[in-house]
Structure formats: structure tokens, C-alpha cells
Structure 1
Amino acid sequence: MRVTLQDDILFINHEDLPPYKKGGSIVRNSYFWALKAIACYTSRDKDWEFDRDVWVALSRMLMSFSESGYLGDRETMLEFPPDTPIPPVLRSVSTWL
């Protein structure tokens, strides 16, 4: 998932967020609600925001869903722009574009 970092707020690109689908996959819908639950701001067709206070939870959640084998790396890995340092707490679930 493409991300940007600004003023200690992590923005996940809205195009990369998991969609909620009524009657869809239980894992994907659970992933959607888990991300939404820890985000500090969500809106349809806008990037979701995660403040520094939840980065540990975000990292653990991404790792857990990744290890489940139901979701691919593209869906559970944070992709930072090449010129952005990756915060230490997010390194285990992050890479550069």
C-alpha cells in the first residue's frame, strides 16, 4: 500500500485500501474494519490517516494479516517514497517504492 508521511501522520493511499464488500471475503472485510478502527481519519475516496500513537498497532496488525497467508504483500506492506525515511516502528512491514 502506497503511503506518505507528513507531520507524524501516516497517509495510506485510498486507492490501495481494502474495499468493504457486503457478502465478500471475511478476511478482507475484517482487514478493512481493523484498519478503519485504528485510523484517526477515514473518508470515502480519500487517504486514511494514522497518527503515531497507533503505528505499533498498525505494524502488528499488518504483520498478523500478512502471516495469515490470505492476503498478499501488496495488500499488507507499506510502500514509502524513496526519499522518505521509514520510521523504526514500521520497518518490519515497510519497503520503498
Structure 2
Amino acid sequence: MKARIENDILLLDREDVPEYKKGGSTVRNSYFWALRSIAGKAGRYGDWEYEPEVWLALRRMLLSFAESGYLGIRETLLEFPSSQVIPEVLRDAATWE
């Protein structure tokens, strides 16, 4: 998922966050609700926002869903611009574009 940090807020590109689909995969829908539950802002038409206080929980969640094997690596890995430093707490679940 494309990610960036602005003003100490982690932003996930709205085009990359999972979609909730009624009658869809239980794992994907659970992933959607888990990510949404810790987001500071998760509107339908904007990027999802995460404050530094939840970054550890976000990392654990991303790694857990990645280890499950039900979701692809591109869905569970944060992709930062090459010009941005990845915070230590997120390094295990992130890379550069």
C-alpha cells in the first residue's frame, strides 16, 4: 500500500486500502475493519490517517495478516517514497517504492 508521512501522520493512499465487500472474503473484510478501527480518519473518498500512537499496532496487524498467507504482500506492506525515511517502528512492515 502506498504510504507517506506528513506532519507526523501516516497516510495510506485511498486507492490502496482494502475495500469492504458485502458477501466478500471474510479475511479481506476483517482486514478492512481492523485497519479502519485504528485509523484516526478513514473516509471513503480520502486517504486513511494513522497517528504515531497506533503505528506499533498497525505494524503488528500488517505482519499478522501477511503471515496468514491469505493476502498478497502488496496488500500488507507499506510502500514509502524513496525520499522518505521509514520510522523504526514500521520498518518490519514497510519498504520503499
TM-score, normalised with respect to structure 1: 0.99
Distance 2:45 2:6 in 1: 19
- Say whether residues 1:91 and 2:91 are aligned partners: yes
Equivalence for 1:18: 18
Output the CA distance in 1 between the equivalents of 2:87 and 2:7: 12
| Alpha-carbon distance, 1:45 to partner | 1.9
With normalisation by structure 2, the TM-score equals 0.99
- Unaligned 5+ runs, structure 2: none
Q: Which runs of 4+ in 1 moved over 6 A?
A: none
Provide the aligned length of Structure 1 versus Structure 2: 97
Between the aligned partners of 2:46 and 2:95, the Cα distance in structure 1 is: 22
Question: Counterpart of 1:5?
Answer: 5
Summarize the alignment of residues 1-97 of structure 1 with structure 2, pairs less than 5 Å apart. Answer: 1-97=1-97
Which structure 1 residue ranges, 5 or more long, are not aligned?
none
Shift of 1:38: 0.2
CA distance in 2 between partners of 1:95 and 1:45 (Å): 25
CA root-mean-square deviation: 0.4
What SS does the aligned partner of 1:14 have? coil
Shift of 1:4: 1.0
Q: Secondary structure at the match of 1:63?
A: helix
